[in-house]
Amino acid sequence: MKNILFIAPYAFPAWGYGGPPRINHDLAIHLTKAGNKVEFYTTDALSEKRNFKATETIQNITIKRFKNINNWLAWNYKIFVPIGFARALKANIKRFDFVFLSDFRNYQNIIAFRFCQKYKIPYCLAAYGSIPIPHGLKKYIKQVIDAIWTKRMVAGASFLLGQTEHEKKLYCKYQADQSRCKIFPLGINLKYFKQSKINTRLFRKKYDIKSYKNIILYIGRINRLKGIDFLIKSMPEIIKLIPDAQLLIIGRDDGYYLKTLQNMIVNLKLKMYVKIIGPLYETDNYPAYKIAKIFVFMPRHYEETSLACLASLALGTPVITNHQSSIPFLNKYKAGYEISHDKDIYIKKLISILKNHKLNNEMGNNGKKLIKNVFDISRVGKLLEQYIKEVLHE
């Protein structure tokens, strides 16, 4: 049995922060079932509100939460500064055999990698698509972090987990050698998607989408970088060919972009064809996947694999995405299309799926096979176990 520590800015059940909280929790469950003792050091980030449970044990995993200096900064800008984290980590890090650092540049990782190096505790780093530097104020903050700490953090990691070949190459920009960069698919726990009944009829009625047969679905944060405007601006051409098509957008507003999209919908006269219904998490959004004919994600910048895309495939709905959000083997399994960020190509591929019922069903079934064969948490979890054992010379 090994003592393994996960360090992350957010953890169970902070689903509003996207895929990493769910992925890390499922990996921790797998490691626990394999006979290891797993703990989380995280913050009290939950949503607009804090999580006031400082310590709790879920499925034999101990989660310790440290209070953020400001929850508004955490929720709106992903700036996490947990009070007492450094002191607690210094006092306890020697208890652990291995440390798993989640995301790329954050306060916890900066503190943790230095303690790991000081006390010779091996650690890995899972960036989860957070390596690219965005524009705006964050650009300068991240450049400062890179100049002082990032290369040292990357250099000291026992291994670096990349979802795609592209993410592996990004690590190399920080002087990581290829031998330590490992392909690590996002893990999906298939049991979450094996519900006996998903009430699509009630979902349609609740959100007034009962008259539309060809639902095009997006689930994710409402943010300019996600490329939602690209999806909306494509709708006039789509509805000329498929009049009962509707774009359904589900997700939380990052605080500044929702109004822009609403104005765009009005200006393009698309109020009947584009619906934004706000955030839904976990099983609450499963009916949306089931009623959709296609899931679409066309981000502006590199995010690597989207967990929402994988959830869609697990529930039998094909996916169209771009190279900025690559899904390994998507094209090979014929479970959808990974394309360039081109409007004409996007519309052509979308129409081909919506107009061909047989193709739609085949892609849906192929998506389930892809998830089972590549992204199933038992396979991904065993991969992480193997990497850790190699480091610990077991």
Asked whether residue 340 carries a pLDDT value surpassing 90, the answer given is yes
pLDDT for the residue 307: 96
Q: In residues, how long is the chain? A: 394
- Report the pLDDT averaged over residues 224-242: 97
Return mean pLDDT, the chain: 95
Whole-Å CA distances, 309 to 219, 225, 295, 368 = 9, 16, 7, 12
Rounded to whole angstroms, the Cα distance separating 238 from 233 reads 10
What was the pLDDT predicted at 175? 82
Over residues 298-315, the mean pLDDT reads 96
The stretches of 1-94 forming alpha helices (DSSP H) are 19-33, 71-77, 85-92
CA 388/CA 394 separation, integer angstroms:
9
| Calpha distance 195→240 (Å, rounded) | 36
Residue 4 pLDDT exceeds 80: yes
Q: Say if residue 379's pLDDT is above 80.
A: yes
Q: Kindly tell me if the per-residue pLDDT of 230 is higher than 80.
A: yes
CA terminus-to-terminus distance, the chain: 11
Strand partners, 125: 101, 160
Tell me the per-residue pLDDT of 309-333, one tens digit each, with 9 for 90 and over.
999 999 999 999 999 999 999 999 9
Query: Strand 61-66 and strand 55-58: pairing?
Result: antiparallel
Quick one: pLDDT at residue 393?
86
Res 60: pLDDT: 97
Write the single-letter amino acid at 24.
N
For residues 155 and 190, the answer to whether their CB atoms sit within 8 Å is no
Dihedral-angle region of residue 53 (phi above 0 means left; psi in -120 to 50 means alpha; beta otherwise): beta
Helix, strand, coil tally for the chain in percent (to 5) = 50, 20, 35
pLDDT digits (tens, 9 = 90+) for 243-294: 999 999 999 998 789 999 999 999 999 999 999 999 999 999 999 999 999 9
Q: Which of 58-72, 94-108, 121-135, 356-370 has the lowest mean pLDDT?
A: 121-135
Say what the pTM is.
0.94
Ordered by where they begin, the domains of the chain are 3-187+376-391 (3.40.50.2000), 195-375 (3.40.50.2000)
Q: Does residue 236 surpass a pLDDT of 80?
A: yes
The pLDDT assigned to 304 comes to 94
Here the tokens at position 160 are 């670096």
Q: What is the pLDDT of residues 151-194, one digit of tens each?
A: 999 999 999 999 999 999 999 989 888 899 999 999 999 999 98
Does the pLDDT at position 196 exceed 70?
no
| Stretch 47-61: mean pLDDT | 96
- What is the C-alpha to C-alpha distance for residues 300 and 257, in angstroms, rounded to an integer? 14
Percent of the chain with pLDDT over 90: 88
pLDDT at 324: 96
Q: Given the DSSP bridges, would you call strands 181-183 and 159-162 parallel, antiparallel or unpaired?
A: parallel
pLDDT at 17: 94
Alpha-carbon span 296 to 52, nearest angstrom: 36
